[in-house]
Every structure is written in structure tokens, then in C-alpha cells.
């Protein structure tokens, strides 16, 4: 091959490489923008969930484009990266309200166990280690209910609705219920658990829920309807509320923000980091869809992501008190 041909191949590859980098930046920028208009179409809402990935990708792309001196493209992608950073910063910069050290504290664990692949032994060991007062489990089947019988003596109060289709749910408690109820939302009759707790004359409501995943238009509609009905039900009460579960939605979605707005609940992750929980097998695509939301009367002392327990979700571990 002649020197001229070698140079021609070199420059052609060089152009293709930087062109691909620029296309990747355009795709990430488009995803950033489309994520802000998710209320207009179910598939647009899907773009809202990957703010961290957009941020990291655009930062890398912006820096790479400085090498061939494509300053305009680099600057534009850096600007879009900052837009994503703006949506993420409250998780790290906002500070939770202080609480009194004299208040009684409670521990609660929430986990999507994964009906088929979850490991009952690992989940049981985590429960014994963390020793929560309350446990909310999603995707529980009859197999899971049977497998968790060994913890029943430690959790004398329970309300369960097992199913074989990934939408069973269960609540185990060391604290007594004054009342509990299985509530069915949406046309698919997906169960949620409402449990009214009374501890030392202090009362609060625990809600466990698991809406359908937004994998298509119909499931997205049903998920959003469940969140609306959930909001209505919570607004009917006057007690402090703590809501937990795999909501199949991230904090950047229009529908998540609407849930907070309509219920007045707060996101316990604010000031504590993103704390992504799903999927466990792919850290590059991991997003926060397992949540703990709470009313102002409940103070979150700690919130952490727990260890791997065989599920495609990580558990969330919370310590809280009543103000």
C-alpha cells in the first residue's frame, strides 16, 4: 500500500471515529431533552430515567471532542451535561432536616425479592442481620411465603397477598397493627398494603406498593393510574405516612414528581445520593426505582442500599422516627 493510500485510510478512520463520538453526544442530548416531555407519551417518559448516564456520557464525549478541537460541539455537549447535573444535584447538596436524638427510632426494609431468581436464604440472612421492625417485600409468591416461615416468630404481625405473576406483596412487622388492608389499584387489580401502626400512642401509616413496569403503552397507563389512585387514598388520611416499594419509576419522571406534588410526600434519597437499585447485573444502566417516600412528620435518619441478595433489585434499608 502506498503512503498516499495509508494516509487516506488513516484520515477516513479518524473522521469516522470522531463522527461516531459526535453522534453519541447527539443521542445523549436528545434523550436529555425528551425526558422533560414524558407526560405527552409513554415512550418519551422512558428517556427521563437515565440522567446519570446522560451526564457521565456527555462529560466524556465533551472532553474527547477537545482532542480534534471540535470546540463548538464540545461546549454544546458540556452544556447539556450540566442540564442533567442540575437535576441530580439535589440528591447530594440538599440537606435532610435535623431530628432530635431523644426520639424513638424504627428500622424498615423494602425489597423486590424477584419471584423466580431471588434467594430466600440470602434474604433471610439480611433480615436477621439488619433486624428491621418492618419488612415490605414485593414479588412474593407462595414459595416465598413458605420460605420465610422461619422469621415468622420474630414478626408476629403480617399482611400478605402472594401471587405467581411477580406482583405479590407482603408486610411483616414486629409492631402491632391497629388495622391493615389489601387495596387493589388499576384494572389489573395489583395489590398494595396499607397498615396503620400504633406504637406508644404514636400512630403512622405504612404503605407497600408495586405498580406495573412501563414496558408498553398499556402498562404505563396502568402504572400511572395506580399512582394517581394511591395519591387519592393517601390524601384521605391525616396520619404520618411512609410509602415503600418498587415503583417502576425514577425521580426524574413527570409522574413521580406528580406523585410527590399530589401527596406532599418527600423523597428520602434527597441529600443522600442517587442510591440506584436496579438492575443489579448491569451497573452501567442502574437506576433508582425502589423508593421510600414519607410525610413531613416522619424523619429519615439513615437510608442505604443493602447488599446483593440474589434479586435483580438491591434492598433499601431505612432508619426513621416520628418527629
pLDDT of residue 201: 79
Q: Alpha-carbon distance 84 to 50, whole Å?
A: 9
pLDDT of residue 49: 98
Backbone angle region of 248, left / alpha / beta, with phi > 0 → left and psi within -120 to 50 → alpha: left
Q: Dihedral (C-alpha) 69, 72, 74, 80: value to the nearest 10 degrees? A: 180
Sign for the CA dihedral angle at 287, 213, 182, 157 comes to: negative
316-322 β-sheet, strand order: 157-161, 169-173, 134-138, 105-112, 316-322, 298-305
**Is-contact 153 197, C-beta < 8 A?**
no
**Is-contact 320 312, C-beta < 8 A?**
no
Q: Alpha-carbon distance 185 to 251, whole Å?
A: 21
What is the enclosing helix (H) or strand (E) of 73? helix 71-88
Q: State pTM to two decimals.
A: 0.91
- How would residue 10 be classed by pLDDT, with cut points 50, 70 and 90? very low
What does the pLDDT average to over 34-49?
A: 97
Express each pLDDT in 44-83 by its tens digit.
999 999 999 999 999 999 999 999 999 999 999 999 999 9
Express each pLDDT in 239-253 by its tens digit.
999 999 999 999 999
**Is-contact 175 154, C-beta < 8 A?**
no
Instruction: Return all residues near 100 (Cβ < 8 A) that are at least 6 apart.
Output: 323
Q: Alpha-carbon distance 58 to 309, whole Å?
A: 33
**Degrees, nearest 5: CA angle 57-42-182:** 110
pLDDT of residue 7: 46
What does the pLDDT average to over 303-323?
A: 95
- For the chain, the first-to-last Cα distance in angstroms comes to 78
Please give the mean pLDDT across all residues of the chain.
92
Find, among 281, 204, 212, 286, the residue nearest to 247 by Cα.
Answer: 212
Q: Alpha-carbon distance 301 to 248, whole Å?
A: 25
**Degrees, nearest 5: CA angle 252-208-233:** 80
Express each pLDDT in 202-260 by its tens digit.
889 999 999 999 999 999 999 999 999 999 999 998 899 999 999 999 999 999 999 99
Q: If DSSP states are collapsed to H, E and C, what string results for 261-287? A: HHHCCEECCCCCCCCCCECCCCHHHCE
Grid cell in block for residue 263: 401527596
Q: Give the number of C-alpha atoms closer than 13 A to the C-alpha of residue 78, restricted to the C-beta side.
A: 11
92-322 — its CATH code? 3.60.10.10
DSSP three-state, residue 302: strand
Enumerate the domain spans of the chain. 3-88, 92-322
Amino acid at each position: 500500500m502506498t503512503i498516499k493510500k495509508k494516509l487516506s485510510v488513516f484520515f477516513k478512520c479518524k473522521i469516522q471515529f470522531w463522527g461516531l463520538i459526535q453522534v453519541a453526544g447527539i443521542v445523549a442530548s436528545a434523550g436529555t431533552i425528551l425526558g422533560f416531555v414524558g407526560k405527552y407519551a409513554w415512550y418519551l417518559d422512558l428517556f427521563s430515567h437515565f440522567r446519570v448516564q446522560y451526564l457521565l456520557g456527555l462529560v466524556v464525549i465533551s472532553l474527547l471532542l477537545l482532542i480534534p478541537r471540535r470546540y463548538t460541539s464540545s461546549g454544546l455537549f458540556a452544556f447539556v451535561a450540566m442540564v442533567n447535573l442540575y437535576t441530580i444535584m439535589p440528591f447530594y447538596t440538599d440537606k435532610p432536616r435535623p431530628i432530635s436524638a431523644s426520639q424513638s427510632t424504627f428500622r424498615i426494609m423494602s425489597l423486590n425479592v424477584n419471584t423466580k431468581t431471588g434467594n430466600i436464604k440470602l434474604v433471610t440472612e439480611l433480615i436477621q442481620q439488619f433486624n428491621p421492625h418492618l419488612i415490605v417485600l414485593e414479588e412474593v409468591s407462595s414459595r416465598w411465603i413458605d420460605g420465610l416461615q422461619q422469621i415468622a416468630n420474630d414478626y408476629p404481625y403480617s399482611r400478605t397477598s402472594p401471587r405467581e405473576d411477580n406482583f405479590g406483596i407482603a408486610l411483616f412487622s414486629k409492631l402491632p397493627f391497629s388495622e391493615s388492608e389489601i387495596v387493589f389499584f388499576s384494572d389489573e387489580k395489583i395489590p398494595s398494603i396499607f397498615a396503620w401502626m400504633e406504637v406508644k400512642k404514636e400512630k403512622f401509616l405504612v404503605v407497600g406498593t408495586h405498580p406495573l413496569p412501563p414496558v408498553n403503552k398499556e402498562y404505563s397507563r396502568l402504572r400511572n393510574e395506580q399512582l394517581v389512585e394511591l395519591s387519592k387514598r393517601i390524601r384521605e388520611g391525616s396520619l404520618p405516612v411512609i410509602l415503600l416499594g418498587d415503583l417502576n419509576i425514577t425521580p426524574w419522571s413527570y409522574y413521580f414528581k406528580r406523585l410527590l406534588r399530589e401527596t406532599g410526600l418527600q423523597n428520602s434519597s434527597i441529600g443522600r445520593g442517587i442510591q440506584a437499585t436496579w438492575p443489579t447485573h448491569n451497573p452501567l444502566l442502574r437506576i433508582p426505582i425502589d423508593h421510600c417516600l414519607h410525610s413531613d412528620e416522619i424523619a429519615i435518619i439513615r437510608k442505604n442500599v443493602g447488599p446483593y441478595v440474589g434479586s435483580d433489585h438491591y434492598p433499601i434499608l431505612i432508619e426513621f422516627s416520628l418527629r
